[in-house]
């Protein structure tokens, strides 16, 4: 196997033309971590400088967030733990799942990354909202439904409406001009540009003719969907509950679970995700 420096030198930026290669690997070796999708690799490729190469039957990918050193995603292939054992100490790794961690934790110094854990929900629960634990959510839905929301199945033609909604969201809060928000806006623009090619599914909510919320996601594996974007305005109570409920109903029936990504250690976001009663958490580890 080549050294890490040689592998990095051979890595190329991710483009839409690389989708068949990524999909071939992800189909053969299903993933459960939200970052490990071609959609993520493409949409955030500019801001995170995603790079990839193939090595001995494995797909290797890396990223470099603004102001940080380059890190590597988990190898995808028949024996990712072997790749980690051979070059694991040469580079920094992030988003390693339990399946890999269980094979290398005795020999390599893993660090559990609680702020990166993915939240997994049962789609049937989100579609039906039955039982006492969802009473608060049903009440929020009733509040929002009083405003006669229009549920829209998103298409690429809704690009400008979604961009306008994001602009209002930025202007209304503390996110205006922040680098992370601008990166998210850039990723959203790419999502709408390649909406059909990527096979994305999205739901929007209009009230009084204005887009007030939307959610967009894609398949993660054969039974799990991942929600890549969810944004709502603060104009109407219950919008958060309604957009997630409607998004869950729009996801095809063959998918049984929804990955709603991580909370990044933000207290309010963690509380909000926990109040939707996750089915499980997907653990992630780092290796430096």
Find the angle CA(5)-CA(180)-CA(258) to the nearest 5 degrees: 90
194, pLDDT greater than 80: yes
C-alpha pair distances (Å), 166 with each of 75, 145, 203? 34, 22, 15
CA-CA distance, 76 to 21, in Å (whole number)? 12
Do 219 and 225 contact (CB within 8 A), yes or no?
yes
CA-CA distance, 195 to 98, in Å (whole number)? 31
CB atoms closer than 10 angstroms to residue 141: 18
Question: What confidence tens digit (pLDDT) does each residue in 203-225 have?
Answer: 999 999 999 999 999 999 999 99
Chain mean position to CA 79: 24
Query: Average pLDDT, whole number, for the chain?
Result: 94
- Average pLDDT in the 150-177 region? 82
Q: Which residue has the higher pLDDT, 156 or 138?
A: 138
CA-CA distance, 93 to 91, in Å (whole number)? 7
Q: Which residue has the higher pLDDT, 168 or 58?
A: 58
Q: Which residues have CB under 8 Å from 288's CB, separation 6+?
A: 92, 93, 109, 111
CA-CA distance, 61 to 44, in Å (whole number)? 13
pLDDT number for residue 185: 84
Question: What confidence tens digit (pLDDT) does each residue in 39-85 have?
Answer: 999 999 989 999 999 999 999 999 999 889 999 999 999 999 999 99
Q: Indicate if the alpha-carbon torsion angle 288, 274, 163, 251 is positive or negative.
A: positive
Q: Which domains does the chain have, with CATH numbers?
A: 4-116 (3.40.630.30), 118-261 (3.40.630.30)
pTM: 0.94
pLDDT number for residue 197: 92
CA-CA distance, 184 to 248, in Å (whole number)? 22
Q: What DSSP state is assigned to residue 278? A: -
């Amino acid at each position: 196997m080549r050294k890490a420096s040689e592998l990095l030198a051979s890595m190329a930026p991710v483009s839409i033309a690389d989708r068949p290669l990524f999909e071939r690997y992800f189909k053969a070796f299903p993933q459960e971590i939200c970052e490990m999708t071609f959609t993520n690799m493409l949409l955030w490729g500019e801001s995170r400088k995603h790079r990839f190469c193939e090595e001995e039957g494995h797909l290797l990918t890396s990223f470099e967030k603004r102001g940080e050193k380059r890190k590597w995603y988990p190898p995808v292939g028949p024996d990712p733990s072997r790749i980690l054992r051979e070059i694991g100490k040469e580079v920094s790794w992030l988003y390693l799942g339990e399946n890999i961690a269980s094979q290398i934790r005795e020999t390599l110094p893993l660090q559990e990354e609680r702020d990166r854990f993915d939240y997994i929900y049962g789609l049937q629960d989100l579609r039906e909202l039955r039982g006492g634990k969802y009473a608060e959510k049903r009440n929020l839905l009733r509040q929002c439904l009083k405003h006669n929301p229009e549920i829209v199945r998103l298409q690429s033609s809704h690009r400008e409406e979604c961009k306008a909604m994001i602009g209002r969201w930025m202007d209304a809060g503390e996110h205006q001009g922040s680098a992370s928000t601008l990166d998210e806006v850039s990723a959203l623009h790419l999502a709408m540009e390649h909406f059909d090619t990527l096979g994305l599914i999205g739901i929007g909510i209009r009230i009084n003719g204005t887009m007030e919320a939307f959610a967009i996601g894609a398949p993660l594996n054969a039974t799990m969907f991942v929600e890549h974007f969810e944004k709502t305005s603060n104009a109407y109570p219950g919008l958060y509950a309604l957009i997630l409920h409607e998004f869950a109903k729009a996801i095809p029936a063959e998918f049984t679970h929804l990955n709603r990504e991580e909370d990044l250690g933000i207290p309010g976001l963690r509380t909000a995700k926990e109040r939707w009663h996750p089915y499980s958490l997907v653990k992630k580890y780092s290796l430096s």
